[in-house]
A = this chain, B = another copy of it.
Amino acid sequence: MKVMVLFSGGVDSTTCLALAVRAHGAGNVIALSISYGQKHSREIEAARKIASYYNVDWKQLDLSTIFVDSDCSLLSSSCEEIPKETYAEQLIETGGKPVSTYVPFRNGLFIASAASMALSLGCEIIYYGPHADDAAGNAYPDCSEEFNDAMKTAVYIGSGKQLCIKAPFVDKTKKDIVKLGIELDVPYELTWSCYEGGNNPCGVCGTCRDRQNAFLANGVQDPLIK
């Protein structure tokens, strides 16, 4: 059975890729990396290296034109600065609305694009890696279990029951994901999470903090921290 993995090159989707390779064999896995106009290309470079490490077919898709009017702070088209606060602190500022790094309906768009491509390529499953921490407090509403359940149904029904979505981490924390990834020997030194595009992770953006905490909670150091 052929499967597709939505694959950003970060900790979560790389662990997801490792799971898919274990379950289906590298020759049956297509990793799909989507550009959406990020301020840097570090994630895509990381994705390319990791796909090569796992010896899976790697596809790229550029959807940046869709977001040209967005003011999301992750986008090169935006003048907004990427926040340095934790998500909990940001949510106090936004009054519970999505944070400024929320890319409008990104996960919905990524899943839908993957579904169209997966059906064209004969894949029967799409794996992707949202987790419980991301959805907490509505920071990223398109990571919630409720959203995921609805997209699952939409893809299954809308594909004529030819395609399923699997989100193996939707009820797990990032700590749980790293724990599993360590067991699976995931090459986390090749991954990239930081929202900024420097040579080394900034260490202070929301995703850097979350990542470091997930490694520390497992008693290990993030391999990207020198």
Interface residues of A (CB under 8 A from B): 61-63, 65-71, 97-98, 102-109, 111-113, 115-117, 119-121, 138, 141-142, 144, 146-147, 150-151, 153-155, 157-161, 163
Contacts and interface: CB of A to CB of B under 8 A. Distances in A.
12 contacts: A61-B65, A102-B160, A103-B116, A104-B117, A104-B119, A105-B159, A105-B163, A108-B115, A108-B155, A142-B157, A142-B159, A147-B157
Most buried by B among A62, A97, A146, A157: A157
Contacts of A63: 113
B104 A159 contact: yes
B108 A158 contact: yes
Identical chains bound together, number: 2
A116 B62 CA distance: 14
A147 B162 CA distance: 14
A113 B68 CA distance: 12
The main secondary structure of chain A at its interface with chain B is helix
Nearest to A65: B61
Nearest to A157: B147
A141 B119 contact: no
Contact of A142 (B68, B120, B144, B158): B158
A222 to B, nearest CB: 29
Contact of A153 (B104, B150, B161): B150
A108 B112 contact: yes
Contacts of A117: 66, 69, 104
Contacts of A138: 160
Contact of A112 (B71, B112, B146): B112
Given A105-B155, A147-B158, A151-B158, 16 more contacts: A61-B66, A66-B117, A67-B116, A67-B120, A68-B120, A69-B120, A69-B121, A70-B116, A104-B116, A108-B112, A108-B116, A111-B112, A112-B113, A141-B158, A144-B157, A146-B157
